[in-house]
Chains A and B, each alone.
Chain A
Amino acid sequence: MDLSDSVLDHLRHMAALPDLTGTRYELEREIGRGGMGVVYAARDRELDRRVALKVLDAELEGEARLIARLEHPAIVPIHEAGRLPDGRAFYAMKLVAGVRLDHHLARSPSLAERLRAIRRVGEALAYAHTAGAIHRDLKPQNVMVGEFGELYVMDWGVDAVAGTPGFRAPETPLDRRSDIYSLGALLQFVLPAGGPPALRAIAAKAMRADPADRYPDAGALLADIERFQEGLAVGAWSEPWGHRLRRFGSRNAVLLWLLAAYAGVKFVLFFLRNL
């Protein structure tokens, strides 16, 4: 690469940067890039705080406004949506300090922590669906885990055309059941190798090719996960008898030990008496 090439690259880069003239934001650095736009860290001069600024390549202001109405602890709050002087649409949102879910999983969290993440994502989805919003591109890269364990689902509904292979439902157009598919794929992704078959069955049911065969909503999927965590049978899996007995045993271990102790005491007393 000669000098003219590097100058050209620099000019191209500068030209791609958003024009924030006349806005309250001051650009800091690029922090992410997706199919439909680029996310920058920026400073809000008026409120003296750092924000994430998503600059969109397409006309998706309507989506941003819809998402801005979502108020949920697991959905990144949008502070402002509008248009930059260079004509591109943007929205400013809370800058989350944390790591992506896929990076978080590299720290080998416990199964309970992994399921907690899925439940938080599912709760956010359930809420958004009741508000009429669809995510359309749910994947580990769009879930952030904060430094105190708080979890945020990012990039709501703007990636209308892309989706991510492996997480995107096969049907078009995408709807709520497509998000259920992605949630199932996310569950499958977070499960450790050799994870419980009941949870794999839940993921498989959520990922069925026919949307009508999936869970009707995120709440139904979460209810099945909750049943698993409480040691109950899950709806998605017809459990073999051996597994059912083991589950009963582990769920009632203390009671079974106490009953065994009682039977043992009675047995010993009865035979000692006959000695």
Chain B
Amino acid sequence: MNRILAGLIFGLVLGAIDGATAWFYPETHSMMAAIMVGSSIKGMVVGILCGWFARKVQSTKWGIVVGAALGLAFAFFVAAMDTVNGSHPYVQIMLPGFVVGAITGFLTQRLGTASAAEKGA
């Protein structure tokens, strides 16, 4: 599986799982579908960027660092757009987003392989 595709799939799946954990908060039940779609798209974008980075730099350590940074940045945008009872849930969204980004970066580095185009380059 090439690295960008691996990043996309891992990001999508982990984003969906992260979104699904909102179910533990009863006040979000009415918005579950929107949260899951939003979280999946966020994870997918982070995964694609992690995959692109993994094509340039093959390093598990840097994959984790970049994944975590991207996860944190995208989670910040999501939290900035979101309001719960009039306040932005920065910590509730950014902290898990940071760790999910790190996991996505790690998996992309470890399980993604060079595409045919990369091998030929």
Residues of A whose CB lies within 8 Å of any CB of B are 254-255, 258-259, 261-262, 265-266, 269-270, 273
A262–B68 Cα gap in the complex (Å)? Answer: 12
A267 to chain B, nearest CB (A): 10
Indicate whether A255 sits within 8 Å of B24 (C-beta atoms), given known contacts A266-B96, A269-B95: no
Provide 14 A-B residue pairs closer than 8 Å at the C-beta atoms, listed in order of the A residue.
A254-B106, A255-B103, A255-B106, A255-B107, A258-B102, A262-B96, A262-B100, A262-B103, A265-B96, A266-B96, A269-B91, A269-B92, A269-B95, A273-B25
Is B9 part of the contact surface with A, judged by Cβ < 8 Å? no
A262–B60 Cα gap in the complex (Å)? Answer: 18
Closest to B103 in A: A258
A255–B60 Cα gap in the complex (Å)? Answer: 11
Say whether A258 contacts B24, CB under 8 Å.
no
Say whether A266 contacts B21, CB under 8 Å.
yes
- B residues 82-105 with Cβ under 8 Å of A? 91-92, 95-96, 99-100, 102-103
Tell me the number of A-to-B contacts counted with CB atoms below 8 Å: 31
Range for the number of chain B residues in contact with chain A = 10 to 19
A contact residues around B24 at 8 Å (CB): 270
A258–B24 Cα gap in the complex (Å)? Answer: 21
A101–B60 Cα gap in the complex (Å)? Answer: 36
B contact residues around A269 at 8 Å (CB): 91-92, 95-96
Report B14-32 CB contacts with A as 1/0, cut-off 8 Å. Answer: 0000000100110000000
B75 to chain A, nearest CB (A): 12
A contact residues around B110 at 8 Å (CB): 255
Closest to B102 in A: A258
A266–B100 Cα gap in the complex (Å)? Answer: 11
A contact residues around B100 at 8 Å (CB): 262
Say whether A261 contacts B99, CB under 8 Å.
yes
Report B54-70 CB contacts with A as 1/0, cut-off 8 Å. Answer: 00000010001000000
Closest to B105 in A: A258
Closest to A269 in B: B92
A269–B22 Cα gap in the complex (Å)? Answer: 11
Known: A254-B60, A269-B95; 8 extra A-B contacts, CB below 8 A, are: A255-B103, A255-B107, A261-B102, A262-B100, A265-B96, A265-B99, A266-B21, A273-B25
A contact residues around B95 at 8 Å (CB): 265, 269
A209–B110 Cα gap in the complex (Å)? Answer: 41
Q: Which of A254, A262, A270, A273 contacts B99 (CB 8 A)?
A: A262
A253 to chain B, nearest CB (A): 11
A182 to chain B, nearest CB (A): 38
A contact residues around B25 at 8 Å (CB): 273
A180–B118 Cα gap in the complex (Å)? Answer: 40
B49 to chain A, nearest CB (A): 18
A contact residues around B96 at 8 Å (CB): 262, 265-266, 269
A266–B96 Cα gap in the complex (Å)? Answer: 7
B contact residues around A254 at 8 Å (CB): 60, 64, 106
A266–B24 Cα gap in the complex (Å)? Answer: 10
B contact residues around A273 at 8 Å (CB): 25, 92
Say whether A258 contacts B99, CB under 8 Å.
yes
